[in-house]
Amino acid sequence: MSETQAIRIASVKSAGDYTLRIRWVNGKTLAVDLQEPIHNFKGMRALRDKAAFAQASKGEGGHSVAWPDGIDMGADRLWEMTLEQNGRMDAVEFLRWRWRHGGA
């Protein structure tokens, strides 16, 4: 499986307080806490309503997580946040370097 396939979402479900459990196409299932962006970004404000947050679904082609009213978050950023929150900063820095230099 190529690196780009690893950054696509296979499935997603709400796991409680602003947390999603994401199954990636590479077979890994990891939780990601979205409390920080939900409370800091105006465009995500509607997701403070836990019922709205719970409506998370896989976006088209697995390239994002989508919510009603056109709110979405890209798979690349979610993967990066998942790695950060699971203590994989070395992998995050590598991904950032690849994105800056045209690789994905």
Sheet with 29-33, side-by-side order of all strands: 9-14, 19-24, 29-33
Residue 26 confidence class, pLDDT cut points 50, 70, 90: confident
Instruction: State pLDDT tens for residues 57-94.
Output: 999 999 999 999 899 999 999 998 988 887 776 766 76
Residue 1 has a pLDDT of 43
Q: What is the DSSP string of 59-94?
A: PGGGSEEEEGGGEEEEHHHHHHHHHHHTT-HHHHHH
Residue 10 confidence class, pLDDT cut points 50, 70, 90: very high
Q: Tell me which of 4-8, 20-24, 39-43, 80-84 is least confident.
A: 4-8
pLDDT above 80: residue 4: no
- Report how far residue 66's alpha carbon sits from residue 71's, in angstroms, rounded to the nearest whole number: 6
- The structure tokens listed for 33 are 């806490």
> Which domains does the chain show, CATH number per domain?
3-100 (3.30.2020.10)
Judged by phi (left if over 0) then psi (alpha if -120 to 50, else beta), residue 7 lies in alpha
Whose tokens are 């390239």? That residue is: 63
